[in-house]
Amino acid sequence: MTNDQSPMTNLQIFLDIATEAALAAGVILQDFLGKVEDAITEKGRPGDLVTAADKASEKVILEILRRHFPQHSILAEESGKLGNQDNEYLWAIDPLDGTTNYAHQYPCFAVSIGLFINGVPQIGVIYDPFRDELFRAAAGLGATRNRRPIKVSQTAELNKSLLTTGFAYDRRETADNNYAEFCHLTHLTQGVRRGGSAALDLAYVACGRVDAYWERGIAPWDVAAGVILLQEAGGKVTAYDGTTFKIESGRILATNGYIHNSLSQELMQVTPLPDR
């Protein structure tokens, strides 16, 4: 990469390499699908699974990113922190978002690759190999699904909206879960879906299939790609209370923008369920 390239040119290069990595990982996930029954383990918490497919997918992503960007830092779900973490470029990788689904051959999983530049999401690629859907975005360059522009929905009323969410792996042990929120919002909307892949949840908000997504207990690699995808598609991402989203917080509210304030207000007034 030469110094005379414009920032937009650099972002396009980053986007293209991330796409190469996501597509290569997707091939691996397709190859492993239905063949991992004897290679599934838990990572310390019930339901937090890892398979041979996760590891193989992450390996090919790391190989491609390191070949093109050897100085960049990486945060990968299976390998953790790699490289110089003080570097301004940080790749956040989820090689298989929706591992539990994948292990059961439930068709809701994806590869997610995001790039932070000085702590700000700038590149996002999410690839669903089962449906062959490729979601891409770069700051200032728009968002696409299979190379065609996407936009968020225009649903402006909560009672006409369709939402999606997820439940953290530690939901059995902590009262800090979103069960009460799920029940509350189910009664206020046309429905709440639980797909099991945060990356696809954000992609679906970005392309207008659902109107909003919220969750707690998420990791940076879960949403790194989806945040910039949604923003470039015209959506809004904040903390639950509407303040600036902080990826290390583990909580996210992502919407089409039109129902953002009303959904935030509802989330803030929900009383958590009591401990069992």
Confidence of residue 36 (pLDDT cuts 50, 70, 90): low
Beta-carbon-side half-sphere exposure of residue 189 (alpha carbons within 13 Å): 25
Q: What residue numbers does the annotated binding site for Mg(2+) cover?
A: 77, 94, 96-97, 222
**pLDDT of 202 over the 70 cut:** yes
Q: Which residues contact 106 (CB under 8 A, 6 or more apart)?
A: 100, 196
Tell the residue number behind the tokens 């973490």, with chain if given.
85
Nearest Cα neighbor of 256 from 214, 216, 210, 222 is 210
**What pLDDT, in 10s, does the model give residues 120-149?**
999 999 999 999 999 999 999 999 999 999
Mean pLDDT of 191-199: 96
**What pLDDT, in 10s, does the model give residues 84-113?**
888 999 999 999 999 999 999 999 999 999
Tell the residue number behind the tokens 């109107």, with chain if given.
211
Mean pLDDT of 19-42: 84
**DSSP annotation of 88:** S
Confidence of residue 9 (pLDDT cuts 50, 70, 90): confident
Helix runs in the chain, H state only = 7-32, 52-68, 99-103, 179-188, 198-206, 220-232, 260-268
Both tokens of residue 238? Answer: 């904040």
Mean pLDDT value across the chain: 91
Q: What residue numbers does the annotated binding site cover?
A: 77, 94, 96-97, 222
Structural domains in the chain, CATH included, are 7-149 (3.30.540.10), 158-269 (3.40.190.80)
Mean pLDDT of 144-164: 98
**What pLDDT, in 10s, does the model give residues 66-87?**
999 999 999 999 899 999 888 9
Task: Tell how far CA 88 is from the center of its chain.
Answer: 21
Q: Which residues contact 9 (CB under 8 A, 6 or more apart)?
A: none
Mean pLDDT of 222-247: 97
Q: What is the pLDDT of residue 2?
A: 44
Q: Comparing 5 with 162, which gets the higher pLDDT?
A: 162
Strands in 212-216's sheet, in edge-to-edge order, are: 192-193, 163-165, 212-216, 251-255, 236-238
Q: What is the pLDDT of residue 52?
A: 87
- The rounded percent of the chain whose pLDDT value lies above 70 is 88
Mean pLDDT of 115-122: 96
Mean pLDDT of 254-267: 98
